[in-house]
């Protein structure tokens, strides 16, 4: 029997693309949680907002990559505003209130986006140089998806290097381990918190810019993305960067494969993986504790 594996490879590839989007949310969640001990519920909503901003900047400038860059920075600044104005007063209060605050922010942003950009799906045309396919083993793979997967991986390497290999990363790690001692050594932990939040939000904004060029963005999109990103980080173990990258790929790829073979339950599969993973390793596959 001649088994044609091309569709499987293609689904694997689509899964990697999907995984990269999850990763662009989960990475921000992970570094923000790692350092600030805050789960940023609004991470996925910020990604969607990044998509909308890319759309607006694209209409103004006409350049796709410039718009993505501007949107990422803007989302970073929105993040800084959220951290400084809304989260900072809550660091001394119980953790649930910080989570509640980011939850409230995502409720607000969800509707604000509906008001500003309407309820209809919006997309940005791909630059013509990217809207091509690459033929591999008789099947064409969109170049843009390959690029997004590569960017996802580049973000992973970049964040890892930034935190593990730079002086600034050392300060971040010091703040993460022992905020009080870091403070006593002259590190401005308050600035570190804001900078890390900025970084996490920039990645979300980048993700939004990348998504909107490929699939249209609608206001409710963030609701499902945040659930997937939560599942990814829970499976990985909260605060574990490499774990989050691997878990994103695990979830993205298996979702994609199941869409091919069991389309009836593809929506439910991710929860099934979560439940099984929780039963086997409650602390997360890569979590220690």
Partner 1 sequence: MRRMLGHEIYSLVIISIATAVIPLSREPYYIYLSSLFMILSIFSLSYNILFGYAGLLSFGHALFYASGAYSFAIFTISIYRDPLVGTLVSVAVSLILALLVGVLTLRHGRIYFSMLTLAFGMLLYALLLKWRSLTGGSDGISGIPRSGFIIDLYDPYARYYYIYVFFLLVVISLYIFHRSRYGLLIKSLGVNEDFVPYTGHSVFRLRILAFIISGSIAGIAGALYAILMGVVNPDLAYWTTSAEPLVATLIGGSKFFVGPIMGSLVFVVITTYASRIAEIWQLVLGLILVALILGSRGGVLEVVDRIWRARRYSGLRI
Binding residue for partner 1 (CB under 8 A) from 60, 95, 154, 181? 95
Binding residue for partner 1 (CB under 8 A) from 40, 67, 106, 194? 106
Q: Does 65 bind partner 1 (CB under 8 A)?
A: no
Cβ atoms of residues 214 and 148 within 8 Å:
yes
| Residues in 13-52 that interact with partner 1 by CB under 8 A | 33, 39
Q: Does 97 bind partner 1 (CB under 8 A)?
A: yes
Report in angstroms the alpha-carbon separations of 177 from 41, 62, 173, 204. 23, 44, 6, 25
Q: Does 93 bind partner 1 (CB under 8 A)?
A: yes
Nearest approach, Cβ of residue 203 and partner 1 (Å) = 19
What is the Cα–Cα distance from 18 to 32, expressed in whole angstroms? 22
What is the Cα–Cα distance from 48 to 27, expressed in whole angstroms? 16
**Taking contact as CB under 8 A, which single stretch among the options 2-10, 15-23, 105-113, 143-151 is the one that binds partner 1?**
105-113
38: β partners: none
Indicate the residue among 96 and 184 with the shorter CB distance to partner 1.
Answer: 96
Neighbours of 9 (CB within 10 A): 14
Nearest approach, Cβ of residue 2 and partner 1 (Å) = 34
Q: Does 250 bind partner 1 (CB under 8 A)?
A: no
HSE-CB at 256 with a 13 A cutoff on CA atoms is 21
Neighbours of 145 (CB within 10 A): 20
Q: With CB under 8 A, what is the number of residues at the site for partner 1?
A: 44
Binding residue for partner 1 (CB under 8 A) from 66, 73, 90, 146? 90
Q: Which of 270, 240, 275 is nearest to 252 (CA)?
A: 270
Cβ atoms of residues 281 and 287 within 8 Å:
yes
Binding residue for partner 1 (CB under 8 A) from 60, 107, 134, 154? 107
Indicate the residue among 126 and 285 with the shorter CB distance to partner 1.
Answer: 285
Q: Say which residues have a Cβ less than 8 Å from residue 126's Cβ, sequence separation at least 6.
A: 64, 144, 213, 214
Residues that bind partner 1 (CB under 8 A): 33, 39, 86, 89-90, 93-97, 99-101, 103-108, 110-112, 114-115, 223-224, 226-227, 230-231, 233-234, 238, 264-265, 267-268, 271, 274-275, 278-279, 282-283
């Amino acid at each position: 029997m001649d088994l044609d594996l091309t569709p499987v490879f293609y689904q694997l590839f689509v899964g990697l693309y999907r995984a990269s989007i999850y990763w662009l949310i989960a990475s921000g969640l992970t570094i923000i949680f790692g350092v600030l001990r805050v789960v940023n519920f609004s991470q996925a909503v910020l990604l969607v907002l990044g998509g909308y901003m890319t759309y607006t900047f694209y209409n103004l400038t006409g350049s796709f990559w410039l718009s993505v860059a501007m949107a990422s920075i803007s989302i970073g600044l929105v993040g800084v505003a959220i951290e400084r104005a809304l989260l900072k007063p809550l660091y001394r209060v119980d953790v649930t209130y910080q989570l509640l605050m980011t939850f409230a922010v995502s409720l607000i942003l969800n509707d604000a986006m509906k008001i500003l950009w309407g309820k209809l799906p919006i997309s940005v045309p791909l630059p013509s140089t990217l809207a091509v396919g690459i033929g591999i083993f008789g099947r064409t793979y969109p170049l843009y998806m390959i690029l997004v997967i590569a960017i996802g991986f580049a973000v992973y390497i970049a964040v890892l290097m930034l935190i593990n290999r730079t002086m600034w990363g050392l300060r971040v790690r010091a703040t993460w381990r022992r905020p009080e001692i870091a403070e006593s050594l002259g590190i401005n932990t308050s600035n570190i918190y804001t900078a890390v939040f900025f970084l996490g939000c920039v990645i979300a904004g980048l993700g939004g810019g990348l998504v909107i060029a490929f699939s249209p963005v609608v206001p409710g999109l963030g609701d499902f993305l945040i659930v997937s990103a939560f599942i990814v980080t829970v499976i990985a173990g909260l605060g574990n960067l490499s774990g989050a990258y691997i878990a994103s790929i695990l979830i993205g790829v298996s979702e994609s494969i199941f869409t091919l073979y069991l389309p009836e339950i593809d929506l439910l599969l991710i929860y099934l993986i979560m439940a099984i993973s929780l039963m086997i390793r409650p602390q997360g596959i890569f979590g220690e504790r």
